[in-house]
Chains A and B, each alone.
Chain A
Amino acid sequence: MPHEVIMPALGMAQDTGKIVSWLKSSGDAVKSGDALFEVETDKATMEVEAPADGYLTDVQADAGAEVPVGNVIALISDSAEDSGTLAKAAPADTASDTPAEPATQTAALPDGAEVIMPALGMAQDTGLIVAWHKGLGDAVASGDILFEVETDKSTMEVEAGQDGFVAALLADAGEEAPVGDVIAIISTDKPDAPVQRSIADAASPKAVAPEKTEAQADEPESAKPTATPTKAAAPKPAPAAKPRADGRILASPKARRLALEQGLDLNRLVEAGHPQPYHASDIEVLKALPTAPAAGTATAQSRRLTADLPHDGFAAFAAWAADTAGLKDAPALLAGLAGASLEGDHAIVAIETFGQTRAFAVPAGPLGAITPADDGAAPDLTLRDLRLSHISTVDLGAEDTPVLTLARAGDGLSITLECAAHHLTAREATGLLSEFAGRMEQPLRHLL
């Protein structure tokens, strides 16, 4: 079993070492501890010793070569003959060891360690392979640069991470691969049937790309190689225009508080494609956004009504309901009072408190029958509870649903109804607000 001679790491921040001179020649008998070659780093020149007794063979790099740390540069073998087990991996000649004819597209993938497209940025979905630095069948050491990848932020070199041979390349230079997808395979032994394909070829992803995104699968054209790597140097990628799949918005506590205090909806930033997470500075962007197109045309026909109550009876009512009827979910009660104020038998009411939204299904009937609404059910009415904030009046314009806003007014309560003209007629709007105001002032009346 031959011993490998690798380029040692002699400094803290050393990536490569330069072989100044060989002190032994290929085929020489060496003893463990003999100086084999001199290496120069940015800091010092040092002699590197043989790790074992034997013969120096398979020398991979000549004097003067810069070799990445960790690369095998020679073997100490039992005989003086080159074993040939090392592919020429010296920097100058990457393609000298031409591999066998690449196997057909459908061939099973060789065994080996999978190399995946790494996530180099927080919001990165794909990476553009700028170039492969190793060819099919090439020998690679763990620290060798395997390929270059470009994201919206930067171009980076990615190391092989494994010693071995490039047994499969599953994406072409110029192609964009989803983060996490396997793009190469490194085998321990020299591969008999190396596989080369491109992402565009791999219409049926098989096991190679288990996490392929829908977009990629549906639109293979989009995965076609891009003309030049410079394309992605454009300032920003088209950001995801949809909310995140789980519906949560990533925003700092301060950004949420500012949005709430100013009555701003972070969803509008999401819809505008503004990249998350949101910070206080993004609230300025939110404020500068043009109003939503739907609202823009309807502004002239929007309705805004305000009711002022000297007394907020809800807290006492909620306490009474919890004690006597076991109805402990105050937002559900609030939804009940609002839903019952709408005309119709059944309503979905969304309660927005402190940036959180909960939707309730409010049937005609007792308050106990209120249940959380099904996911995705569009609310008929939104109730924005700002009683715990310092906001006293709102004038936010119509939104997708009629919005009732509760704000503190001294010891009492100020209720504002805002809606588009097509949501509610003037009669319906005044009816809704006066019904609801009455219920908030004397909730027990609702039970009668």
Chain B
Amino acid sequence: MRDITLSQAVNEALAEEMRRDETVFIIGEDVAEAGTPFKVLSGLVEEFGTERVVDTPISEPGFMGLAVGAALTGTRPVVDLMFGDFIYLIMDQLCNQAAKAYYMSGGKLNVPLVLRTNLGATRRSAAQHSQSLHALVAHIPGLKVAMPSSAYEAKGLMKTAIRDDNPVVIFEDKLMYNDKAPVPEEEFLIPFGEANIKREGADITLIGTSSMVQVCEAAAEILAKEGIEAEVIDPRTIVPLDEATLLKSAKKTSRVIVVDEGHQSFGITGEIASRINEKAFYHLDAPALRMGAMDVPVPFSPALEDITVPTPEAVAENARKLMSGEMIHAA
């Protein structure tokens, strides 16, 4: 197996699916010659032409609506939304149209659309280009939400998303585009709703999404040196959520921390922690803890920005508190 970057993995997934199915096309700002600001799509316009790699003006609601229409009429658009923060601009097209067409048409219409976008702070991009807004769309029935944690997941989940007959939103962490991971050369898909146990442990479960999986793994390393064996789980898709795997681990370790880069309040961490508290209550030796990003606009100051997101040290510190039986009321 070779190591490739997350960018290359996404690029490969798109190229393979575009070769396999000629109804797949890419649309968005700076997707053709520019290959996106993150160079994820470099080379695709050369192979597939401007008919299938479509540059648009700066007009998110416009091209998103266009893509929903195209999906309703038999194609499989992959919409490139340059920053996850711009999702506010396309809420109606995504949440009112794409998410509801299948239900409201009694199954006669479907929207096989993929929205590719990103999340993640600490890139010094300030408050309007650093948000992690996956909780907004995970809240809407009818949308699937995938959160790849490495190049391997980025490729496997993207291919599954393109083949899905209903809308899928994929959030890539914009800080991970150059991170390498082993990715098989032969074709593979990662099914939705199957969590990945990244590391086994008996003492505490760390559930992380996207780049927070790495944070959890680093925390597990710290804890291992202190004799605490942490289990690290990557749900890979938050909708659908592999509740069974999470609950099984929670029952095994009886302590859980959920780590995610979205704002902590009303977010993914709260949803997952709540399900565990509800469904594994009598197996828990401590409350399931949430660790999200601070409930503040992402600061531009690097020193401030860095303290708004969960760190391995902070996760390890909370893990120690849970292990020692200290009563925690806030993370």
Q: Which residues of A contact B (CB under 8 A)?
A: 12, 122, 250, 252-257, 277, 279-281
Contacts and interface: CB of A to CB of B under 8 A. Distances in A.
Contacts of A257: 282-283
B325 A279 contact: yes
Nearest to B303: A12
A179 to B, nearest CB: 16
Contact of B285 (A122, A250, A279): A279
Contacts of B325: 277, 279, 281
B327 A277 contact: yes
B285 A255 contact: yes
Contacts of B281: 253
Given A122-B326, A280-B254, A254 B303 contact: no
B180 to A, nearest CB: 33
B326 A254 contact: no
B283 A254 contact: yes
28 contacts: A12-B303, A122-B326, A122-B327, A250-B327, A252-B254, A252-B284, A252-B285, A253-B281, A253-B282, A253-B283, A253-B284, A253-B285, A254-B254, A254-B282, A254-B283, A254-B284, A254-B285, A255-B285, A256-B282, A257-B282, A257-B283, A277-B325, A277-B327, A279-B285, A279-B286, A280-B254, A280-B285, A281-B325
Given A252-B254, A257-B282, A279-B286, 10 more contacts: A253-B283, A253-B284, A253-B285, A254-B254, A254-B282, A254-B283, A255-B285, A277-B325, A279-B325, A280-B254
Contacts of A280: 254, 285
B133 to A, nearest CB: 28
Contacts of B284: 252-254
Contacts of A253: 281-285
A172 to B, nearest CB: 32
A46 to B, nearest CB: 16
A257 B283 CA distance: 8
Interface in B244-282: 254, 281-282
A433 B286 CA distance: 40
A12 B303 CA distance: 8
Contacts of B326: 122
B210 to A, nearest CB: 27
A27 to B, nearest CB: 38
B295 to A, nearest CB: 20
Nearest to B328: A122
B286 A252 contact: yes
A252 B253 CA distance: 14
Contacts of B303: 12
A257 B325 CA distance: 17
Question: Size band of the B side of the interface?
Answer: 10 to 19
A277 B321 CA distance: 13
Contacts of B285: 252-255, 279-280
Contacts of A254: 254, 282-285
The winner among B282, B303, B327 for most chain A CB atoms within 10 A is: B282
Contacts of A252: 254, 284-286
Nearest to A251: B285
A12 B285 CA distance: 35
A390 to B, nearest CB: 13
The winner among A255, A256, A280, A281 for most chain B CB atoms within 10 A is: A280
Interface in B283-319: 283-286, 303
Contacts of A279: 285-286, 325
Contacts of A256: 282
A254 B282 CA distance: 5
A279 B254 CA distance: 10
A256 B284 CA distance: 10
Nearest to B287: A252
Interface in B118-145: none
A281 B325 CA distance: 9
A280 B282 CA distance: 11
The winner among A250, A252, A255, A280 for most chain B CB atoms within 10 A is: A252
B326 to A, nearest CB: 7
Nearest to B304: A12
A280 B255 CA distance: 11
B90 to A, nearest CB: 38
Nearest to A278: B325
A277 B285 CA distance: 10
A250 B325 CA distance: 11
A157 to B, nearest CB: 21
Contacts of A122: 326-327
Nearest to B277: A253
A269 to B, nearest CB: 13
Contacts of A250: 327
A40 to B, nearest CB: 19
Which 6 A/B pairs are nearest by Cβ-Cβ distance?
A254-B285, A257-B282, A252-B285, A279-B325, A280-B285, A279-B285
